[in-house]
Every structure is written in C-alpha cells, then in structure tokens.
Amino acid sequence: MITLAVDCMGGDHGPAITLPACRRLLERHADVHLLLVGLPEALKGFVHERATVVPASEVVAMDDPVEVALRRKKDSSMRVAIQQVKDGRAQAVLSAGNTGALMAIARYLLKTLDGIDRPAIAYPMPNALGGSTTVLDLGANVDCTEQHLLEFAVMGSALDSVLKNKPQPTVGLLNIGSEAIKGNEVIKKAGELLRSAADAGDLNFIGNVEGNDIFKGTADIVVCDGFVGNVALKASEGLASMIAAFLKQEFSRNIFTKMAAVVAYPVLSAFKKRADYRRYNGAALLGLRGLVFKSHGSADPFAFEQALNRAYDAARNHLLERVQARIAHAAPLLTGASAVPVSAATPD
Amino acid sequence: MITLAVDCMGGDHGPAITLPACRRLLERHADVHLLLVGLPEALKGFVHERATVVPASEVVAMDDPVEVALRRKKDSSMRVAIQQVKDGRAQAVLSAGNTGALMAIARYLLKTLDGIDRPAIAYPMPNALGGSTTVLDLGANVDCTEQHLLEFAVMGSALDSVLKNKPQPTVGLLNIGSEAIKGNEVIKKAGELLRSAADAGDLNFIGNVEGNDIFKGTADIVVCDGFVGNVALKASEGLASMIAAFLKQEFSRNIFTKMAAVVAYPVLSAFKKRADYRRYNGAALLGLRGLVFKSHGSADPFAFEQALNRAYDAARNHLLERVQARIAHAAPLLTGASAVPVSAATPD
C-alpha cells in the first residue's frame, strides 16, 4: 500500500479542486491510501475507505511570507502534511500551496540528504517529442555554484530514471549561444564538473543546451540556476497563455470564424490536448529526506490529479532510495568540488 | 536624407534575403539612401538610384569565433558596414550576422557612450496588448551589476521613447516570484537604484516583474542580465515553434482535418499574423557611439525589412542623441553607483 499525504487546503481553490482529484486517484489505484490534511469542516464531506482525514487548524495563504508560514502557522495543513512524511506515516506529500513556504517547511522538517547542499525544484516541461523535459532548479536557489548544478544533475537523473523509466537519462547544461560570452565562470566550471561526472559514469551528460532545447527535447534533463529556470518557466507560461488567447479571439471574432471553429473543433481539441501544460503538473522538491511534490497553485482537478500521480509513481518506484544511491555513487565529485566554492575560487 | 549601411552578406541566406528587403525599403521611403556592403559579385545585380554598393572582400560566417571576426577578417562586410557609421557616412547600420561578432566589432570601432560601461542588446518581444515589450539585455553581458541594469533601463527608455513614441515608457525589473528568495543581491540593489532613478525623474519604474509579464505587456521595458534574457528569448522561440508545429501537425493529420484547415484558413492566417515574431524583428545594440541594429539570422525578406524599418525610424528620430541626453541626465546615478561594484560591496 502506498500512502500519500495531501495538503487539501493549498492552491488557489483548496478542497474544491484537491478533493475531486483525490477521489479520482483512489478510484484509479487500489493500492493507494490518502491522508487528507486540512480544516476538518472543509473535508468532512469526503468519505472513502482508503482515505483518512488528518486535522490541521491553519492554512498557509498563497501570499504568506515564508517566515509567517514557517514560524507562526505551526499547525498549518501544509506543515502537518509534511510531518506525515517525516513521521513515516506517508511515503510522499503533495501541496498546491505557496512554493517558498513549502520548500522552507519541508527543508526545516525533513532536512537535506547527505551530500546535498541545496534542494531544488524539478519541473516537467512539455517538449516537441511528445514527452517532457525535466528542468531544475525552478526557483529554490538564486545563486548557484557549479557544485550545486552538479547536485541538480544527479538528482534530476534519479528523478527521470524513476518517472520516465530511463536508466540513463541525458543531461544538458543551460547556457547561452552568443560566441562573445559563452556563459559565465560558474557555467564553464559546471560544464567541466558535469563532464567529470559523465566520465565517472554518474551522468549521461550531453553538453551545453540553449533555451529552445527545453522544448525541442534535446536532453531529458536541463540544469540551470533557480533564477534562470524560474524566468524561463514563467516566460513560457506567459507566451503559451498569449498564444491561446490569440487563437481563441480569432476564432470568436464573428459568425464566420465561429463556424470555422465548429468545423475545426476536433482538430483544435486534439491540439489543445497536446499542448496542455496540465498533463505535466507536479514539480518535485529534490534533495530532501522525504518525497515532496508541488502542484501548480492554479491547478484544476485534472491537473492536481496528474501531480498526485507523479507523487504516487515516485513513492511506488522508490525515488528517495534512488536519489540517495545516485548521490552516494557521485559522492567523491560532490564533496570534492564543494571544498572550493566558486565565489572564493574565482577572483572575478 | 537618411543613409543606412546594410551588411548584405549577413544572416543564414545573405543577399537572397537582404537585397529584396532593401528594395522594398527604398520603394517605401523616398528619403532613404542605402549603402549595400558586401562582395561586389554578389551585389552586382542590384541597381537603384538611391543605393550604392560598398565593396568588402570577406564575410563573417555565422559560426566564426569572435576573435576571427574581429582580428582576421578586417575587410568583412560586417566591419565595413559598421565603419560607414563610424566615418559618418551612414546614420545607422543593420546586420543579420553573428551577434557576438557584431557586438565585438561595433564596440571596437564605435566605442561606448560616456557613462555606459556595457552596451546591451534590446529586443522587442510581442505582447498580449498587440504591441511589443522591449527586453534587454539579450546576451551581451552575462554577469551584470545593479549599475549595469540601471544603464539598461535608461537606454531602453530612450529606445522606446523613440520607436514607440512614448515619452515616459514604463520599466520593470525582471525577478522571480517565490517568496523564499526574491531575487539575489544584485537584483535587490538594482531595485533600489531604479527607484532612485524614478525619484529623480529619469525613469518610469514600476517595480519587479516576472517572466510572464514580458508577454502580458505589464511594462514597456523589461530589464535583466544577458544570460537570463537570452534564455527567456530562446525558450520562448522554442515554445512558439513547438506550438506552431503541433497546430500544423493536427491540421494535416487526415483528409478531415485538412478540410477543417481549409475552412479555418482565414482564421488561422489572422492568428499567424498576430503571433508573428517576424513583425518585431530588429534588435538594437545600445550604448555605442553609433546606431547598430541586428536582424535575426534566419530572417526572411519580410522580417529583414522590419529590422530595416527599425533602423530607419531610429535614425530619423535621432535615437543616438536621445540616448545620450537621457544618459547625461541620469549621470549622477550612473557614475555614483559604478564606484561600488556589487561584487566588492557584498561579502556574500
């Protein structure tokens, strides 16, 4: 039996979204048990033989500062949900709440794995091959050393080997193409470090990739610092929304375009399904002593269910042990390099 | 009369693209004179009373390292074209060649403006409001101080005031949203500096923006370092290509979807036109003692013509003098802060 803890209060809409998704998951997988964490009155309508309500008296708001979530709301649904993993009552936890708060509380309660200095957020972005490219970090770390980028590569490889069932997923290092200034010092050093890891058999490193390679699917995993990754993710979301809005506006312009929309409906639905971000919902917070997943805050029940599925697959396939094993194997490189942080090593 | 120097050999296809675009520009604007720079045999078929061929014996290849372009190919079409601006024979220059080489040669020949430490590449990205958001830097500078970001904001404001005819264009600072780690030290200091500039009347600063705001059109100008900007641009291009390919594939799947495509053709064309990146072709290299514009290397004649139009508008509206005036006005802030580079000021 796989037990997942769900922060039912997180996200823009809370139980109205999370509960229907939980019910679907329970219906689809007979080996799932859910710990539904939240305000008892908000969850009281949910009855299922494999679901248990775990009460929490507070809710972390989407705009709560991290300090408030961490220090003041000690009985929040988010924190109580993570505590289930900490106490061994659940194998993984999912929340659609405030990312910063989730990372901070998870890090505080669960601690990081040996050999990992910085946990990272790994996000699956759809690619032209019909699959997804795992990009990390997506915002947990704004200033990264080459050592951190190596950690991300090792953790991302473990994640993909489990969730995509690829023993040796390919890793690309996000860089820029202009000849004048190919990357900064950290990126150059990270490239060398990733090559060493590849030589040692710890990674399937394919070299530098550029922003467009995320969507081409050039590498299974794309590694970057959290500032860059967050901007790339948000810019992509913004562009996708803009294109969708343009398409909708053009098809609803007048009676003729509306008729065209009716004729084209099956095609447009197929297109929409293919370009649907929701299918890939569910970021992994990697590097912690426990499995923590994050759903997009604006997820609908379908999207939240996808994130639940990812948490379920990760737990069932022993992601945590796989990450630990990979880190242990790469330990000589991880610890060797960490002795010389780039900020001290490069005079700039 | 506005005289523009055109590197006719640059880009993926050279004269086959650049010459038709030049002819269109000459037909549209009676006050334009063009200096067509390139291999004489490649340009000999082009005859127009307001066009003069300026011979160059070499061509910078798209994959030439900067050193080769700068030191070995001293009679390249790119360099000779920039020299026209340097010598006062042209008011602006346009090339679709290698960005790194263009920036390096332009910087070497033209030098930077007083008060500007780093030239930047400003690129117009389409937004949901039907206009474009000017993003800079797009790859000229990978490590920026807050001072550089202020320079970009001042130069971008001058550019938009000319090309969008807005006296006080709004400026946003690109940041990430996660509460845990809102930006790094440079971003925080840049925010303070931009606020000071706004208080002094030098900028219309609206605060932090996120990646999706580029496409929402939240600010006229979005300021970021070149690494982040380059990744955001390339990721967006990659996503747009993927979505376009998905749409095309769905409409060409079988006879029924192809019929739907015929019915929907007018709508799809209108959509394509609206989402067309080519309309916004033409990046400005700002901060130099001369107007330099860069077309996308894969531009077609339509796209190259848009870039020519931007160079023409910039020259006609005295962009160089406007940039200089804005920099002179903001000089106390620009020089005051440059005395304390952030790398030295923050112990980190």
Q: Judge whether B64 lies within some domain.
A: no
> Domain boundary residue among A86, A110, A134?
A110
Which residue would you say has higher pLDDT here, B236 or A334?
Answer: B236
Judge whether residue B315 has pLDDT over 70.
yes
Residues A199, A135, single domain; the answer is yes
Helices (H) and strands (E) in chain A, counts: 14, 11
Other Cβ atoms less than 10 A from the Cβ of B304: the count is 29
Q: What is the DSSP string of A31-83?
A: TEEEEEEE-HHHHTT---TTEEEEE-SB---TT--HHIIIII-TTBHHHHHHH
Judge whether residue B344 has pLDDT over 60.
no
Q: What distance, in Å, lies between the first and last C-alpha atoms of chain B?
A: 54
CB contact under 8 A, A250 and B260: no
Residues A154, A189, single domain; the answer is yes
Mean pLDDT value of segment A175-190: 73
Instruction: Pull the structure tokens for residue A289.
Output: 């002593």
Mean pLDDT value of segment A79-105: 96
Q: Judge whether B217 lies within some domain.
A: yes
> Which chain B residues are within 8 Å of A211, Cβ to Cβ?
230-238
Q: Tokens 């920026």 — which residue?
A: B144
- Closest Cβ opposite residue A234 in set B100, B142, B211: B211
Other Cβ atoms less than 10 A from the Cβ of B301: the count is 18
Residues A102, A124, single domain; the answer is no
Whether the CB of B215 is below 8 Å from some CB of chain A: the reply is yes
CB contact under 8 A, B264 and A266: no
Residues A224, A91, single domain; the answer is no
- Closest Cβ opposite residue A260 in set B128, B264, B343: B264
Whether the CB of B264 is below 8 Å from some CB of chain A: the reply is yes
Q: Judge whether B114 lies within some domain.
A: no
Judge whether residue B253 has pLDDT over 90.
no
Lowest-pLDDT range of A109-123, B9-23, B220-234, B331-345: B331-345
CB A283 within 8 A of CB A120: no
Per-residue pLDDT at A104: 93
Q: Judge whether A308 lies within some domain.
A: no
pLDDT digits (tens, 9 = 90+) for B3-19: 999 999 999 999 999 99
Whether the CB of A328 is below 8 Å from some CB of chain B: the reply is no
Residues A129, A264, single domain; the answer is yes
What does the alpha-carbon distance between residue A145 and residue A345 come to, in Å, rounded to a whole number? 11
Nearest CA-CA distance, residue A286 and chain B, Å: 16
Residues A337, A247, single domain; the answer is yes
Nearest CA-CA distance, residue A311 and chain B, Å: 22
CB B66 within 8 A of CB A180: yes
Say if residue B112 is exposed, middle or buried (CB neighbours under 10 Å; 0-12, 13-18, 19+).
Answer: middle
Q: Judge whether B338 lies within some domain.
A: yes
- Closest Cβ opposite residue A211 in set B103, B231, B267: B231
Per-residue pLDDT at A334: 78
Per-residue pLDDT at A330: 82
Instruction: Pull the structure tokens for residue B36.
Output: 């067509």
Q: What are phi and psi of A182, to 5 degrees?
A: -70, 90
Q: Which of residues 174-213 of A touch B (CB under 8 A)?
A: 174, 176-181, 183-185, 210-213
> Which chain A residues are within 8 Å of B242, Cβ to Cβ?
126-128, 215-216, 275
Length of chain B, in residues: 348
Count how many pairs of residues, chain A against chain B, have C-beta atoms within 8 Å: 242
* Per-chain mean pLDDT for chain A: 89
Phi-psi region of B195 (alpha: psi -120 to 50; beta: other; left: phi over 0): alpha
- CA-based nearest residue to A85, from A77, A93, A75: A93
Q: Judge whether B215 lies within some domain.
A: yes
Q: Can you give the CATH number for the domain in which A23 is found?
A: 3.40.50.10950
CB contact under 8 A, A266 and B274: no
Comparing alpha-carbon positions, the chain A residue that sits nearest to B182 is A142
Judge whether residue A152 has pLDDT over 80.
yes
Nearest CA-CA distance, residue B288 and chain A, Å: 16
Q: Judge whether A124 lies within some domain.
A: yes
Judge whether residue A69 has pLDDT over 80.
yes
Per-residue pLDDT at B260: 79
Q: Can you give the CATH number for the domain in which A222 is found?
A: 3.40.718.10
Residues A27, A80, single domain; the answer is yes
**B172 sits in which H/E element:** strand B170-174
Q: Which of residues 284-303 of B touch A (CB under 8 A)?
A: none
Residues A103, A127, single domain; the answer is no
Q: Tokens 């072709």 — which residue?
A: B281
- CA-based nearest residue to A153, from A228, A226, A208, A224: A224
What does the alpha-carbon distance between residue B264 and residue B273 come to, in Å, rounded to a whole number? 14
Per-residue pLDDT at A40: 96
Comparing alpha-carbon positions, the chain B residue that sits nearest to A183 is B142
CB contact under 8 A, A180 and B66: yes
Tally the domains of chain B. 1
β-partners of residue A125 are A133
> Domain boundary residue among A66, A90, A110?
A110
Residues A29, A73, single domain; the answer is yes
Judge whether residue B216 has pLDDT over 60.
yes
pLDDT digits (tens, 9 = 90+) for A118-128: 899 999 998 98
Q: Which of residues 121-160 of A touch B (CB under 8 A)?
A: 126-128, 139-143
Per-residue pLDDT at B82: 98
Comparing alpha-carbon positions, the chain B residue that sits nearest to A252 is B267
> Domain boundary residue among A55, A75, A110?
A110
Q: Judge whether B8 lies within some domain.
A: no
Whether the CB of A108 is below 8 Å from some CB of chain B: the reply is no
Residues A144, A263, single domain; the answer is yes
Residues A10, A143, single domain; the answer is no
* Percent of the residues in chain B that have a pLDDT greater than 90, as a whole number: 61
pLDDT digits (tens, 9 = 90+) for A212-267: 999 999 999 999 999 999 999 999 988 888 888 888 888 888 888 888 888 888 88
Q: What are phi and psi of A293, to 5 degrees?
A: -120, 150
CB contact under 8 A, A100 and B179: yes
Residues A345, A203, single domain; the answer is yes
* Per-chain mean pLDDT for chain B: 89
Q: What are phi and psi of B329, to 5 degrees?
A: -65, -40
Per-residue pLDDT at B183: 65
Range of the structural domain that residue A84 is part of = 1-110
Nearest CA-CA distance, residue A208 and chain B, Å: 12
Q: Is B295 helix (H, G, I), strand (E, B) or coil?
A: coil
Q: What distance, in Å, lies between the first and last C-alpha atoms of chain A?
A: 53
